[in-house]
């Protein structure tokens, strides 16, 4: 696949190359009119025509559905530098005032390409300009003092080439740095917009969940009371009411399950804003993660904690986020397989990894992991909010959540957050 920016660069280059072809043709015709005896325009127009044909071929290439290779813009700019060198060779060489156009190509290379490509195109321009001092079709009217002669290349020409090389290097470096800074800024703004959108969805989700929990609380309470009375009446009937009593007990059990789900929804889902930091040890975090699990599931968890404590943390938010990840891992791992929970330090941050032994995820599923209400579980088995809330928690602390998975190789979820200085 190709970064979308390359498509934009090529579309922009196409337009610029058409404008350049028209400008070059006009300049050649004007020069021929001013210098009718000294300039041969046939080869020059041939080079311009070749550039125009290459631009037409490039237009046809962009219409195809196949992705554009990242190197294509660099190759196009390299071809333009060679064509410019050919045009200058046939019109006076280094004495031609249009040699300054090399700097335009160097600037374009620094804007469009990155790293070694920009410097390679700069070296190509410097080399082409240097060769024009030795190899060119002499145009007497364009020559002036110290631009060649019988005594060989002059210090003036050497100075011109050195000055050009220094200028080209400075332009490539400065424009490259500015362009890279702008790219990084755009990436940071895009990440910030994405984070803001997720925070907005979380706020809307929290408001909706609290409203739903409030509205459904009373009807569920009424159903629970009615089911209890029905069960009591059925049990009083003896054997004839046994089946009815079982049905009533099932209703009460499912109502209790709904109430637990509503209680979770009524909490400030995934948000740790405003929660005070408190000293937390890894042992306490292990106890929080094991809370509410069946004894069999507790034995399937394999914890590996570092020697140092994790320091001040929003305990409730961290526990809720990690419980969701651990619960998913336990469900994905066939019994009696184990789930590894490993914490470690990494450059001033804590990394906590939860690795299961499940079947892994397909790429299309992995691409949607963390979206709210997205779940691969059967209907009624989950709300699809666990990883979304875990990611939100990590980002609120300045960290992130990463998911690595391949079909048949299990899944690793990594939650990271910056360490807080111990008071």
The gap from C-alpha 79 to its chain's centroid, in whole angstroms, comes to 31
CB 112 within 8 A of CB 13: yes
Distance, CA of 225 to CA of 246 (rounded, Å): 15
Q: Which residues pair with 301 in a beta bridge?
A: 339
Q: Which residues lie closer than 8 Å to 241 by C-beta, 6 or more apart?
A: 233, 234, 235
The gap from C-alpha 321 to its chain's centroid, in whole angstroms, comes to 23
Distance, CA of 216 to CA of 214 (rounded, Å): 6
- What is the helix, strand, coil percentage profile of the chain, to 5? 65, 10, 30
Location of structure tokens 């559905």: 65
Strands 411-418 and 400-405: antiparallel
pLDDT 10s digits, 343-376: 888 877 888 889 998 888 888 888 887 776 677 6
Distance, CA of 47 to CA of 45 (rounded, Å): 5
Location of structure tokens 């311009």: 48
- Alpha-helix residue ranges (DSSP H) falling in 237-314: 242-266, 282-290, 295-300
**Which H or E element spans position 21?**
helix 4-34
On whether the pTM is more than 0.75, the answer is no
pLDDT 10s digits, 34-46: 887 778 888 999 9
- Taking only the tens of pLDDT, the chain with its 423 residues reads 344 444 446 788 888 889 889 988 998 888 888 887 778 888 999 999 999 999 999 888 888 887 778 788 888 889 999 999 999 898 888 888 888 888 888 888 777 777 788 788 888 988 988 888 888 888 877 765 445 444 555 566 677 777 778 877 777 777 777 777 777 888 888 877 876 776 676 666 666 666 666 677 778 888 888 888 888 888 888 888 788 888 888 888 888 877 766 665 555 444 454 567 777 788 888 888 887 777 888 888 888 888 777 777 777 777 777 888 888 888 888 888 889 998 888 877 888 889 998 888 888 888 887 776 677 666 555 566 677 778 877 777 778 888 888 888 888 998 888 876 555
**Token output for 412:** 């690793």
Q: Which phi and psi (to 5°) does residue 349 adopt?
A: -135, 155
């Amino acid at each position: 696949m190709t970064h979308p920016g390359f498509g934009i660069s090529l579309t922009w280059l196409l337009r610029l190359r058409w404008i350049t072809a028209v400008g070059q043709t006009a300049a050649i015709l004007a020069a021929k009119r001013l210098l009718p005896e000294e300039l041969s325009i046939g080869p020059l127009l041939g080079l311009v025509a070749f550039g125009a044909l290459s631009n037409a071929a490039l237009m046809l290439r962009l219409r195809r559905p196949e992705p554009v290779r990242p190197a294509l813009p660099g190759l196009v700019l390299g071809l333009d530098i060679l064509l410019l060198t050919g045009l200058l060779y046939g019109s006076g060489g280094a004495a031609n005032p249009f040699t300054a156009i090399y700097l335009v190509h160097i600037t374009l290379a620094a804007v469009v390409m990155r790293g070694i490509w920009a410097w390679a195109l700069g070296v190509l321009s410097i080399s082409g300009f240097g060769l024009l001092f030795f190899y060119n079709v002499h145009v007497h009217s364009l020559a002036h003092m110290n631009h060649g002669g019988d005594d060989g290349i002059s210090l003036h020409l050497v100075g011109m080439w050195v000055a050009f090389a220094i200028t080209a290097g400075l332009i490539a470096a400065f424009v490259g740095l500015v362009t890279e800074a702008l790219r990084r800024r755009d990436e940071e703004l895009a990440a910030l917009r994405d984070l803001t959108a997720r925070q907005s969805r979380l706020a809307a989700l929290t408001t909706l969940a609290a409203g739903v929990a409030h509205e459904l609380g009373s009807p569920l309470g009424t159903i629970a009371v009615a089911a209890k009375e029905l069960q009591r009446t059925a049990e009083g009937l003896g054997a004839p009411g046994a089946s009815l009593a079982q049905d009533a007990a099932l209703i009460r059990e499912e109502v209790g399950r709904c109430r637990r789900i509503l209680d979770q929804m009524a909490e400030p889902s995934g948000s740790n804003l405003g929660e005070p930091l408190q000293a937390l040890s890894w042992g306490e975090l292990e106890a929080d993660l094991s809370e509410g699990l069946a004894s069999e599931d507790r034995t399937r968890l394999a914890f590996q904690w570092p020697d140092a404590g994790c320091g001040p943390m929003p305990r409730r938010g961290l526990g809720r986020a990690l419980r969701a990840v651990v619960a998913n891992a336990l469900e994905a791992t066939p019994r009696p397989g184990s789930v590894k929970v490993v914490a470690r330090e990494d450059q001033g941050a804590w990394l906590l990894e939860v690795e299961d032994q499940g079947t892994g995820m397909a790429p299309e599923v992995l691409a949607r992991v963390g979206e709210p209400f997205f779940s691969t579980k059967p209907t009624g088995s989950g709300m699809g909010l666990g990883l979304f809330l875990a990611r939100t928690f990590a980002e609120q602390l300045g960290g992130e959540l990463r998911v690595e998975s391949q079909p048949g190789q299990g899944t690793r979820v990594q939650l990271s957050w910056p360490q807080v200085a111990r008071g």
